[in-house]
Each structure stands twice: as C-alpha cells, then as structure tokens.
Amino acid sequence: MVGSLSATAAVVPQHLPGVLHSLEPTLSRYGYLAITGFVLLEDFGLPVPGETILVLGAVYAGTGRLDIYLVGLIGFLAAVLGDNIGFAIGHFGGRPLIERFGRYVLITSSGSRPV
C-alpha cells in the first residue's frame, strides 16, 4: 500500500513556488528563447525577471527538459549582448533619446538637469 502511494505521488508534477510558478508556462512554451529574451531585456535595462528565469532554466535542466550547458551559454551571451545594447543607447543616444522614447518603457524624466 505504501509503495503505491509513493508511486502515485511521484507521477503528479510538483509546481514551483512563487514567481517561479508564474514563469513556468513561458519557459515550458518558449524554452531557450524565453531565457534569451528575458536575460537580454533585463541586462538592457528593463525591469523583467531575467535572472529568475535563468534560475528556472537551470531547474528545468536539472529535470532533463533543457541542457544546462546551453542554458549557461545562452544566459551569458544574452547578458553580454543586453549590456552592450544598453551601453550603446546611453553612449550614442544619451539623455535626449531616453527623454524622447523612455515613456514607452516606463522611464520618466526626473525634472532636473545637472548643470
């Protein structure tokens, strides 16, 4: 009797806690693309859960659904690319670019300018 209960419990998938549970459908559907997009956007400067989805990707790799080496490589490349895009925007566009288009990504002007 005890053996049949533990076998039944092993078949039922356990849901992840908190925000990991809310990201689970996205990672299940898009896989590596979700990791790439979220990490790139977070390192670009947008407030998205990039590191959290990277941790969830590692959990998925631990269960055999993703390859851990590919998760690490994609996370690294997306982070470097996102950082460089953010730097290029700041370096070449600067404050005028952010003041013009920042409202589309919820960045507002502080109202004061340095002298």
Q: Is residue 11 part of a domain?
A: no
Domain, as residue range, for 59: 17-105
Q: What is the pLDDT of residues 32-61, one digit of tens each?
A: 999 999 999 999 888 899 999 999 999 999
Q: Is residue 100 part of a domain?
A: yes
Q: Is residue 7 part of a domain?
A: no
Q: Is residue 56 part of a domain?
A: yes
- Split into its structural domains, the chain has a count of 1
Q: Is residue 111 part of a domain?
A: no
Q: Are 85 and 92 in contact (CB under 8 A)?
A: no
pTM above 0.75, yes or no: no
Q: Is residue 40 part of a domain?
A: yes
Q: Is residue 55 part of a domain?
A: yes
Q: Are 53 and 27 in contact (CB under 8 A)?
A: yes
